[in-house]
Amino acid sequence: MENALFYIFAALTLLFAFLCVANPFSRNPVTSAMFLVLTMISMAGLFVLLQAFFLAAVQILVYAGAVMVLFLFVIMLLDIKEEERRRFNRFAIALGGVSVIGLGFILFSTIRESKVGAGLKLTAVKGSDTAALGKALFTEYLLPFEIVSVLLLVAMVGVILLSKKDLK
């Protein structure tokens, strides 16, 4: 049952992700953004299968919800028709295709021949996974967590600088 669900969610994730970047039927950025939402939701399904319920909920609330609303805002504020008219460069398609096939082949053949997870000791999370996640963030990964706050400050300053009309 779990296996079947995994394959379903994994296939859906891949399908939606593909439709997000290379939709043959529509070149509308809003459609792409909606497929990105579906990709996030299928990934949330994968998190549920891993019993990471908190991450699954956050994935839907934050990514599929809040982040995507911002994406849609930006897309609608920009000139969408420009994107629809742009044509693909054949050379770029060929080169991109070759890289994707090459990378896919390498990944597929390595995954087939390796025993994934063999000899790995996994410790089960005690108590709720939310508590475990919070504990890891504020003890073991405290420093990276704090550095991310500097990163967010930099991003904020950058966005204001690059988008503000006239700064003095």
Q: Which parts of this chain interact with other proteins (CB under 8 A)?
A: 106-107, 109-111, 113-122, 139-144, 147-148, 150-151, 153-155, 157-158, 161-162, 164, 166-168
Measured from the CB atom, the residue of 11 and 148 that comes closer to other proteins is 148
Neighbours of 16 (CB within 10 A): 19
Minimum separation from the CB atom of position 16 to other proteins (A): 18
Work out the angle between the directed axes of helices 129-138 and 142-163 (0-180°, nearest 10): 80
We find the least distance from the C-beta atom of residue 138 to other proteins, in angstroms, to be 11
- Nearest approach in angstroms of CB 43 to other proteins is 13
Residue 56, C-beta contacts closer than 8 angstroms, at least 6 positions apart: 44, 45, 47, 48
Q: Are 32 and 20 in contact (CB under 8 A)?
A: yes
Largest interatomic CA distance in the chain: 62
**Among 49, 33, 40, which residue's Cα sits nearest to residue 12?**
40
**24 or 119: whose CB is closer to other proteins?**
119
For residues 23 and 31, is the Cβ–Cβ distance under 8 A? yes
| Euclidean distance between the first and the last CA atom of the chain, given in angstroms as a whole number | 62
Helix (H, G, I), strand (E, B) or coil at 4: helix
Q: Can you read off the two tokens belonging to residue 157?
A: 């300053």
Least Cβ distance, residue 59 to other proteins (angstroms): 16
Nearer to other proteins (CB atom), residue 4 or residue 111: 111
Min. distance of Cβ 17 from other proteins in angstroms? 12
